[in-house]
């Protein structure tokens, strides 16, 4: 009886190991392509609205509201896609995505607050695109191939944005948060089930 119990315990340990290994090697595919496309459309609206503001603070308020709306839209779309595909948002790949994605966004929020405190907004668009791209790229390591590629595109656009005159800030943000989200979102939606 003791040998049989040992074999049973060993088999359970093997199953736990296999499950853990599978969770850590699978990709996180609950990223909603069509949700990203919707975020792209909202960013294009924000670019248009912020172009009509009269002050730096008004410009920042529009884009900050857009950022919060984009996070909410993205999260709702992710929940919807996860429920449609049966993917858990608490899985190991999902947690890894979040751990790679969140720190650059938090750094961006802190740097934005510091820039606003000294009324220095010129580098903010490039900084946002760079840090968002870094988050997408690192978090996307555990997702489908298009996601880290999209992150690298955001980073390249952000690097360019650091050297453009402030008059181009809405164009660069529209190209990044609008155009890249729209293009990659539609592609991911078609190729990876929504």
Express each pLDDT in 53-75 by its tens digit: 999 999 999 999 999 999 999 88
Least trusted range by pLDDT, from 103-107, 182-186, 188-192: 188-192
24 pLDDT above the threshold of 50: no
Structure tokens of 185? 């979102």
CB 168 within 8 A of CB 13: no
Q: What total number of domains does the chain contain?
A: 1
DSSP 164: S
Cβ atoms 187, 179 nearer than 8 A: no
For residues 98, 122, 166, 42, the Cα torsion angle rounded to the nearest 10 degrees is 30
Domain that holds residue 103: 2-191
Nearest 10 degrees: Cα torsion 41, 135, 74, 69: -70
Q: How confident is the model at residue 28 (pLDDT cuts 50, 70, 90)?
A: low
Positive or negative: CA dihedral 131, 151, 31, 183:
positive
Can you give the pLDDT at residue 66?
Answer: 96
């Amino acid at each position: 009886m003791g040998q049989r119990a040992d074999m049973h315990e060993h088999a359970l340990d093997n199953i736990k190991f296999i499950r853990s290994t599978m969770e850590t090697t699978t990709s996180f595919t609950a990223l909603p392509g069509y949700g990203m496309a919707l975020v792209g459309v909202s960013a294009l609206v924000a670019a248009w609205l912020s172009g009509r503001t009269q002050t730096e603070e008004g410009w920042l308020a529009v884009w900050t509201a857009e950022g919060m709306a984009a996070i909410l839209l993205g999260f709702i779309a992710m929940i919807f896609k996860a429920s449609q595909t049966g993917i858990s948002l608490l899985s190991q790949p999902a947690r890894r995505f979040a751990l790679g994605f969140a720190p650059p966004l938090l750094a961006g929020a802190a740097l934005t607050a510091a820039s606003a405190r000294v009324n220095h907004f010129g580098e903010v668009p490039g900084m946002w695109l760079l840090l968002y791209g870094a988050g997408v790229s690192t978090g996307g390591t555990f997702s489908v191939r298009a996601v880290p590629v999209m992150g690298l595109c955001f980073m390249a656009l952000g690097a360019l944005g650091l050297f453009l005159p402030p008059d181009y800030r809405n164009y660069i943000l529209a190209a990044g948060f609008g155009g890249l989200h729209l293009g990659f979102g539609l592609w991911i939606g078609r190729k990876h089930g929504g």
